[in-house]
Amino acid sequence: MQIITSRDNPNVKRIAKLTKRDQAKKEGLIYLEGTRLCEEALASGQTAVEVIVSEDKKDWAEEFTPGIGPLVLSKDVFRKISQTVNPQGVALIIKEPELTAEIPRRKDGKDIYVVLENTQDPGNLGTIIRMADAFGLTAVIVSPTTCDPYNDKVIRATMGSMWHIPIIRKSMDECFEFFENSKTDTLAMHLKGDELCSCSLRLPCAYFIGNEGDGLTDVTTARCSKKVRIPMHGKAESLNAAVAASVIGYELSKLL
Amino acid sequence: MQIITSRDNPNVKRIAKLTKRDQAKKEGLIYLEGTRLCEEALASGQTAVEVIVSEDKKDWAEEFTPGIGPLVLSKDVFRKISQTVNPQGVALIIKEPELTAEIPRRKDGKDIYVVLENTQDPGNLGTIIRMADAFGLTAVIVSPTTCDPYNDKVIRATMGSMWHIPIIRKSMDECFEFFENSKTDTLAMHLKGDELCSCSLRLPCAYFIGNEGDGLTDVTTARCSKKVRIPMHGKAESLNAAVAASVIGYELSKLL
């Protein structure tokens, strides 16, 4: 296996471009770096389009991506394309899982969906995906204005859950059409809603969480069948979006 | 009011040092910058030791910190000490609220405490403080190894709740002594605990959340009266620490 020692090598130049999220996104690809992120993706069945390792990590490639000829870079060249200060010498290019798939349904009809309208913080989005996986939700649905789910901060925050649960991008119109046809309850998370209590909940159910600063749009709130709020006893005006999404996801998961 | 136009002015030099958290901490002070952060602190009764504004924000000082002669800097000098790319021209030095106070108790005995043992992520700590305020907890107790509550990322994530709820630093020994004497239930949040269910809970109650990667130490887990886990239905192995703390806080707050 040849070790690439020049930054001007055309393969290195191509990979360096893909380390920028904008470029990878255009090509429908994701650049993952670091042993944990790469191993999580592979363990969950993602297929590497390309494997990039530094010269001292050839064993890793043999173990985790057998049959794919890795691009082996000198430590120095790897450091130059790396997105981290202390690179672990392991990176993958994988295909973006399809965001435009149909909204899935369970056979028993006990679907729970969290729908995010314009969530902007990658940490919140990642934490919500992790929670949705943990509580057995059917899918995470993101509006076209919600931040890029394949942003590396999102992927990191999901702790592997990124690859466990369908993430689907739909307009609010498409969501409401699907939920109407499938007789799915729609809950708007709203500071002026009724107090959340598991007794008033039924499945299938989709709950809508809005933007961190502005909450849900009035249009979306009005289209939901119910407005709910999480009871609060203190002086805080609101909860963090991921916390709010988690508390409702937890209450709904009691019905599974 | 004189406008300071030189970075070499001794007052500017002193403030510049205090913008570094390490230095401010040594002096028992907090540097806050930006209108939202400063106004939240003032609205909640924090007293400014010093007010720093850029020349175009003298009105702000007159409105929000009347009676305190502000340090007025030229825009250029303010930009130089600022911690942000686009400074808003408003900063305060306040005293650190006492972390070593006694653990407070409610008159009705319905106390809920969240105890953090070695929480490291400032975003998690801030989100937990905000949740604790929202759900009416009595106090947030942090171990000496938990990250600095007055780190600016923590303060930002609390969205003002930093100033609404007591934050107290205690060793685990001090905690258990207090909880024993006050007949407070102690719950260890643990992946091998019993399933959380509001029926088995009673107040007063303290629940313990561990480090993001390692969870609670075995010693602390063993000292708690009960181990609980949040029921999970999916493939995720665990929840984000702030999410876990919030779900338990929410269940306990139903008993208030």
Cα separation values, B38 from B19, B52, B71, B132, Å = 14, 11, 15, 21
Cα separation values, B99 from A131, A174, B18, B131, Å = 32, 51, 19, 19
Of the candidates B132, B231, B235, which has its C-beta nearest A164's C-beta? B235
Give tens-digit pLDDT for A67-95: 899 999 999 999 999 988 899 999 999 99
What is the rounded distance in angstroms from the CA atom of residue A171 to the CA atom of residue A117? Answer: 9
List chain A domain ranges.
3-95, 112-253
Say whether A236 and B137 touch across the interface (CB within 8 A): no
Say whether B240 and A127 touch across the interface (CB within 8 A): yes
pLDDT reported for residue A200: 81
Q: What percent of chain B has pLDDT over 70?
A: 99
Say yes or no: domain A112-253 is CATH 3.10.580.10.
Answer: no
pLDDT reported for residue B100: 82
Count other Cβ atoms within 10 Å, centred on residue B256.
16
Give every CB contact of residue A96 below 8 A, 6+ residues apart in sequence: A25, A28, A29, A30, A150
What is the rounded distance in angstroms from the CA atom of residue B54 to the CA atom of residue B71? Answer: 8
Give tens-digit pLDDT for B112-158: 999 999 999 999 999 999 999 999 999 999 999 999 999 999 999 99
User: What is the least distance, in Å, from the CA of A158 to any CA of chain B?
Assistant: 9
Mutation target vs B (from A163, A195, A239, A254; most B CBs, 10 A cutoff)? A239
What is the rounded distance in angstroms from the CA atom of residue B35 to the CA atom of residue B30? Answer: 15
pLDDT band at A197 (very low <50, low <70, confident <90, very high): confident
pLDDT reported for residue B200: 81
Which amino acid is it at A193? G
Q: Which of A36-50, B81-95, B192-206 has the lowest mean pLDDT?
A: B192-206
Instruction: Spell out the CATH class of A3-95.
Output: alpha beta
What is the rounded distance in angstroms from the CA atom of residue B76 to the CA atom of residue B219? Answer: 53
Q: Classify burial at B25, counting beta carbons within 10 Å of its beta carbon; exposed 0-12, middle 13-18, buried 19 or more.
A: middle
Please check whether the two domains, A3-95 and A112-253, share a CATH topology: no
Q: Is the pLDDT of residue A198 over 80?
A: no
Of the candidates A164, A230, A231, which has its C-beta nearest B236's C-beta? A164
The token duo for A131 is 């929670």
Q: Is the pLDDT of residue A100 over 90?
A: no
Say whether A132 and B234 touch across the interface (CB within 8 A): yes
pLDDT reported for residue A148: 96
Helix axes B122-134, B241-253, angle to 10 degrees: 10
Q: Is the pLDDT of residue B1 over 90?
A: no
- Please name the residue of chain B whose CA is at the shortest distance from the CA of residue A242: B243
**Contact yes or no for B134/A231 (Cβ under 8 A):** no
pLDDT reported for residue A84: 87
What is the average pLDDT across B180-209?
A: 92
